[in-house]
Amino acid sequence: MNTLEPVRAAAPVWQGVINAYRAWMPSVTDHMSIVTLHEGNTPLIRADHISGLTDCDVWLKVEGTNPTGSFKDRGMTVAVSKAVEAGADMIVCASTGNTSASAAAYAARAGIKAVVLVPKGDITLGKLAQAVRYGAEIVEVAGTFDDCLRIARELADEHPVALVNSVNDHRLAGQQTVAFEIVDALGDAPDLHCLPVGGAGNITALWRGYTAYERAERASHRPRIWGFQAAGAAPLVLGHTVEAPETVATAIRIGDPASRDGALAARDESGGQITSVSDEQILAAYRLVARHEGIFVEPASAVGIAGLLTEHAAGRVPPAQRIVITVTGNGLKDPDASMLDGYDPVETSTVTTAVARALNLA
């Protein structure tokens, strides 16, 4: 028998977003047990290079440092805790990859089963590897993400499985905490917040968080919200669904956003906009943020940066704004994207002087 007392930490340990912000989540009750991987508390890092390019004060909220490598964990802790409270022993989600990794991890943590529906052949290696290792039941659907979401909803309607896509309001309750952390760190809301938009749960939750904090007078104002979609998957820009969405940013290859209304409300109530960027612009931002800020993100996560730089080039970004950009997921999720450019190693023998010569040091 293990009789060891848990070691008491010398400093308070971050216990996850529910523990930090439960007062803002009415559905979380004191007696519920919390399924957490200590998500949240992600770094807000000044982007010196991008600030210089835009004459603004630009900060990156680096969500790739969450336990499964994306912002999805903020909402998953709430959704899975609530599912367990309700007695579920199986959760289901549709995903372009990150939601499935997160659902699989939190299900493993809770000791329940996760079923993840993904578009066959369209999710990145890192994300698939996560779902496999956490032990999810993986269903590869011969269709798009939008097909997967329809099936997941129908399964949850007709069978005893809990749907944990962000149509589940508990997900949004958790995801809004990103806005709380930003205001708590900066002392007030920024002027402008840029982020990628796919199914649009994240932009909906972000706006909800800023709104809650402003109402409680934790912030003096709410930022304008600029959402960006990939040009080949831009239903909110075009104003209609896209049957066959296509973009290098596979995470946001979505033609029919479930949280469309929330996205349009965030845009309109904030005096913001939702526009699109090309795959070339996405990949340029993806390279830039790694090379010049030291932050490796997946292509979809560079979309907010691509958008800001595009708007700046068009003369539409006033100087001296304080801007936060959510970079939503870790670059290791998509190793193939990084290798698209190839690489050029220095090849040498095992002799140090030969290495020095190859490096032009000698």
301: DSSP letter: G
Which stretch, 27-35, 180-188, 269-277, 298-306, contacts ligand F0G (CB under 6 A)? 298-306
- Position 223 contacts ligand F0G (CB under 6 A): no
DSSP H helical ranges for the chain: 17-21, 48-54, 72-85, 98-110, 125-134, 145-158, 169-175, 177-186, 201-215, 235-238, 260-269, 279-293, 303-313, 335-339, 352-358
Burial level of 183, CB count in 10 A (0-12/13-18/19+)?
A: buried
Cα–Cα distance measured from residue 324 to residue 201, given in angstroms and rounded to the nearest whole number? 18
Q: Which residues 135-194 are close enough to bind ligand F0G by CB under 6 A?
A: 166
Please list the residues that pair with 325 across neighbouring strands: 60, 194
Binding of ligand F0G at residue 198 (CB under 6 A)? yes
3-state helix, strand, coil in the chain (%, to 5): 45, 15, 40
Of 22 and 171, nearer to ligand F0G (C-beta) is: 171
Interaction between residue 202 and ligand F0G (CB under 6 A)? yes
One-letter amino acid of 361: L
Which CB, 171 or 224, lies closer to ligand F0G? 171
Tokens standing for residue 254: 């979505």
**Partner residues linked to 70 by β-bridges:** 329
Task: Please say which residue, 3 or 231, places its beta carbon nearer to ligand F0G.
Answer: 231
Among 200, 206, 266, 283, binds ligand F0G (CB under 6 A): 200
Extract the tokens encoding 262: 């929330």
Contact 78, 201 (CB under 8 A): no
Task: Single out the residue of 196, 235, 245, 255 in contact with ligand F0G (rule: CB under 6 A).
Answer: 196
Applying CB under 6 A, which of residues 122, 298, 311, 334 lies at the interface with ligand F0G?
298
Footprint on residues 203-222 left by ligand F0G (CB under 6 A): 203
| CB of 71 vs ligand F0G, minimal distance in Å | 7
- Which residues are 345's β-sheet partners? none
83-142 residues in contact with ligand F0G (CB under 6 A) are: 95-99
Token representation of residue 180 = 């709380």
* Nearer residue to ligand F0G within complex by CB, 218 or 287: 287
CA distance 187 to 167: 31
- 70 versus 144: smaller Cβ distance to ligand F0G: 70
- 329 interacts with ligand F0G by CB under 6 A: yes
Q: What is the 3-state secondary structure (H, E, C) of 181-202?
A: HHHHHHCCCCCEEEEECCCCHH
**Nearest distance, CB of residue 321 and ligand F0G, angstroms:** 22
Find the binding residues for ligand F0G in span 46-85 (CB under 6 A): 70, 72
Does 201 bind ligand F0G (CB under 6 A)? Our answer is: yes
At its nearest, how many Å lie between ligand F0G and the CB of residue 315?
Answer: 27
Number of residues counted as binding ligand F0G (CB under 6 A): 23
Q: Which two tokens stand for residue 339?
A: 């290798």
**Closest distance of CB 12 from ligand F0G, Å:** 30
Shortest separation between residue 45's beta carbon and ligand F0G, angstroms: 17
**Two tokens, residue 274:** 């939702």
Note whether 252 binds ligand F0G by CB under 6 A: yes
Beta carbon nearer to ligand F0G, 132 or 362: 132
Measured CA to CA, the distance from residue 279 to residue 277 in angstroms comes to: 7
User: Which one-letter amino acid corresponds to residue 149?
Assistant: L
Interface with ligand F0G by CB under 6 A: which range of 128-136, 154-162, 199-207, 238-246? Answer: 199-207
- Return the residue of 81, 168, 211, 301 that touches ligand F0G, per CB under 6 A: 301
- The residues, ordered by sequence, that sit 6+ positions from 300 with a Cβ below 8 Å of its Cβ are 196, 198, 230, 249, 250, 251, 252, 282, 328, 329
Q: How far is the CB of 7 from ligand F0G (least distance, A)?
A: 35
Which residues are at the interface with ligand F0G (CB under 6 A)? Answer: 70, 72, 95-99, 166, 196-203, 251-252, 298, 300-301, 328-329
